[in-house]
Amino acid sequence: MAEHKKAHTEDEPSAFARFVRKTVSPLSRAFADSPLMQLRVRTPHGSVTLAKAPPVDLRVTSIASAELTDMPKSGHPRVPLARVYNGEAGRSYDTINAEVVGIFRDIPEPPTTGDHLEAGRLLGHIEALRLRNEVRCPIACKLIAQVVVDGQPVDFGEPLFVVDSGGTPLPQAEPETPVPETVEIVEPPRL
C-alpha cells in the first residue's frame, strides 16, 4: 500500500492509472494463480507489492472425543454462548432452541430474566428469507437467561433461551426418528 502511494505522488495521476491498468491488474491475476505469497515489482513507472493473506488455521489439530462432546457447535462459535445452561450445582435447565436458520430479533418487549412465562408466549423472532418465524415458549416456565442478542445469526438447534420448567421436560417439536437397526435403501441414488 505504501508503495502505491509513493508511485502516486511521484507521477501524474493519469500515469498511475495507466500503470494500474496495464501492469498491476494483469499482474494481480497472475499472482492469484501462482503459489507465491508475496511479489514486489519495480518498473520505471512505479512499483507495487502484492501479498496474500496467510493461510487460515484449519482447526483440525485435535479430534479427541472428550473435547468434541463439549463443543456445542462445529468449532466456529460466532458469538460466545453464555455458559449458564449447566445452571446451579445439581440442577439442569432446559433450552429453547432455534428451529430455523436465520437472524434472531428481539420483540419490542422482550422477556426478562426471572419472568414466569406462560406456554405459547412470544419470545422473539428468527428472520429468514424475509420471513419472521416466531419463537414461542413451548411450556409454562421461568426464564433463566436469554443467550442470543438481537441481530445475532443463529443456526438450527442453537439455544436461544435457558428456562426452568420445574422438572417437566420440554415437549420436543418433533420426536427424533429412532435409528433403525438395519437401514434398507429401497432405491439408492445412482451417483
Site map 42..81 versus another protein, x via CB under 8 A: ----------x--xx-xxx--x-x--x--x-xxxx-x---
Residue pair 117/124 in contact (Cβ under 8 Å)? The answer is no
- Supply the minimum distance, in Å, between the C-beta of residue 103 and another protein: 7
> What is the distance between the alpha carbons of residues 147 and 134, in angstroms, rounded to a whole number?
17
Binding to another protein (CB under 8 A) within 105-124 occurs at none
By beta-carbon proximity to another protein, the closer residue of 47 and 152 is 152
> What is the distance between the alpha carbons of residues 50 and 27, in angstroms, rounded to a whole number?
9
Residue pair 11/45 in contact (Cβ under 8 Å)? The answer is yes
By beta-carbon proximity to another protein, the closer residue of 55 and 114 is 55
> What is the distance between the alpha carbons of residues 6 and 92, in angstroms, rounded to a whole number?
63
Binding to another protein (CB under 8 A) within 14-43 occurs at 32
- Supply the minimum distance, in Å, between the C-beta of residue 41 and another protein: 19
Q: Site for another protein (CB under 8 A): which residue of 1, 2, 66, 129?
A: 129
C-alpha cell at 174: 418433533
